Amino acid sequence: MIFSKIQLTRQNTLNVTYKTDDGDVIDFKGGNVVHKDLRQAIHALIPHLAVITEQREAQDRNLKQVQSDRITDDNINSVYKRLDVDCVNFSDDEGEASLSGLRILTTGGIVKLTTPSIRLTDEESYTYHNELAADLEAVKYEAKAYIEDKKWGIKQSEIAFESPFEGVEAQDVPEVPIEGEQKPKKRGRKSKAA
């Protein structure tokens, strides 16, 4: 499975485009909510988005320092409160990747962000390419589990009930009188006595 796009939708489901071993290109649109592991794997890409797009939270800080914002999540200017990643695009058979996401402004507005393509084997392309490659592997692993293993956030299952009335016809079921209720009198024709 070679991915070209992994996208988290607004409904918290997953859209994926990938190529099979046979060369077929599949557009997969998931209908189930993603598992929290996939959400966390995508969430781990936020510091990379901040560093690559040179956001102010990443100014004069290395990747480890930006990632440490997670520990002090009460900070209103935390990179995790201001930025979000919703899509990863791959090219060159997963040799390059770009992240897409958004930034919430202090005014409440939203700005869409997209990184340039990062070659995952080239330090000149991005200083933290090894860390990015590892975080992207986690996203790909979870996306594959969503597609193949049905690793969803909510898994609806069936409960098999045995019916106590199986093989019983409606006329065979005895009438149960309700307490305090009187039976209505039967109306009909009286038979004529001969």
Q: Is residue 132 part of a domain?
A: yes
For the chain, the domain total comes to: 1
**Which amino acid is present at 137?**
E
How many Cβ atoms sit within 10 Å of the Cβ of residue 53?
A: 17
**Which amino acid is present at 111?**
V
User: Dihedral (C-alpha) 121, 128, 56, 108: value to the nearest 10 degrees?
Assistant: 70
Q: Is residue 174 part of a domain?
A: no
- CA 27/CA 82 separation, integer angstroms: 30
Q: Is residue 159 part of a domain?
A: no
- CA 139/CA 88 separation, integer angstroms: 9
- Domain range for 115 is 35-144
Q: Please report, in tens digits, the pLDDT of each residue of the chain (194 residues total).
A: 888 898 888 888 888 888 988 888 888 888 888 888 888 899 999 888 888 888 877 777 888 877 777 655 566 667 788 888 999 998 887 788 999 999 888 888 888 999 999 888 888 888 888 888 899 999 898 888 888 877 767 655 566 666 666 666 766 666 666 666 666 666 666 666 65
